[in-house]
Amino acid sequence: MSAASTKALVLDFGGVISRTLFETHDLSEAALGLPPGTLTWRGPFDPETDALWQAMQADHITEREYWMARTRSVGDLVGEEWNNMQTFVQRARGADVEAVIRPEAVAAVHQAKAAGCKLAVLSNELDLFYGASFRERLPLLQLFDVIIDATYTGILKPDRRAYEMCTEALGVAPADCVFVDDQSRNVLGAMRLGWQTVQFDVMNPADSYQRALKLLGIR
């Protein structure tokens, strides 16, 4: 058995496997019938102009609270009352789920799978944001051995129990996990338990995945 085959690649979903909503404003505006340029919040791409994002990064609000505020504001723009993130994502992104998946994620997942690594998604909001039918329409997720979703567990990263559930389900030691997440608090949570980590850079996805593959021993 090769060294890589004992390891596990554990990925956050939103922003890591999928493109962020910040990156797809043009698609969202077209799908919702909004004039180009209507959506101006840019999160990590322009934090100085996104006060809500700054509040989340300072732990004044949670990630869920950030996205619920955005959901309600976009609902207002289309003259509707939106009370869950699922409505926003499904209305903004339509039926083509493949269009929002990062090609770098697809390539890395296939490389890790081919090398014998185990695969897991560790998400705070997969079905909450995307809807329960999303994973059924995304063949990529069928390659994963484990999906831990706080939509159902109620345990949000960086709570140590979220990571412990993942290693237990995978049957691997913490040191054998390579975890990729775009939120520093979640990365630090994994590091505290002895996981190997990559803080995902949404502005440089290819480099982030290359670093993860290198930690897995994959060239």
Measured CA distances, 178 to 50, 76, 89, 126 (Å): 31, 40, 28, 19
pLDDT tens, residue by residue, 141-185: 999 999 999 999 999 999 999 999 999 999 999 999 999 999 999
Q: Which residues of 48-68 are buried (b: 16+ CB within 10 A; e: fewer)?
A: eebebbeebbeeebebbebbb
- Stronger pLDDT, 133 or 16, i.e. the higher one: 16
Structure confidence at residue 94 (pLDDT):
66
State residue 131's pLDDT score: 82
Q: Give me the pLDDT at residue 99, please.
A: 83
| Contact assessment for residue 49 and residue 42, using Cβ atoms and an 8 Å cutoff | yes
DSSP 3-state of 123 = strand
Q: What is the pLDDT of residue 135?
A: 85
| CA-to-CA separations, 10 to 7, 31, 35, 66, in angstroms, rounded | 10, 32, 38, 24
Amino acid at 15: G
Structure tokens at 187: 């990365």
Structure confidence by residue, pLDDT tens digits, 90-144? 888 866 788 889 999 999 999 999 999 999 999 998 988 888 888 888 999 999 9
Does pLDDT of 216 surpass 60?
Answer: yes
Q: Where are the alpha helices (DSSP H) in 160-218?
A: 160-170, 184-192, 205-215
Long-range contact pairs involving 171-177 (C-beta distance under 8 Å, separation at least 24): 171/118, 172/6, 172/7, 172/8, 172/118, 176/6, 176/7, 176/8, 177/7, 177/8, 177/10
- The two three-digit tokens of residue 136, written as one number: 């059924």
For the segment 20-48, what is each residue's pLDDT rounded down to a tens digit? 999 989 889 988 999 999 999 999 999 99
Q: What is the pLDDT of residue 5?
A: 47
Residue 203 has what pLDDT? 93
Q: Is 4 helix (H, G, I), strand (E, B) or coil?
A: helix
pTM over 0.75: yes
The answer to whether residue 2 scores a pLDDT higher than 70 is: no
Q: Which two tokens stand for residue 77?
A: 């723009």
> Distance between CA atoms of 121 and 128, rounded to whole angstroms?
14
pLDDT > 90: percent of the chain: 79
Q: Which helix (H) or strand (E) holds 146?
A: strand 146-149
pLDDT score at 20: 92
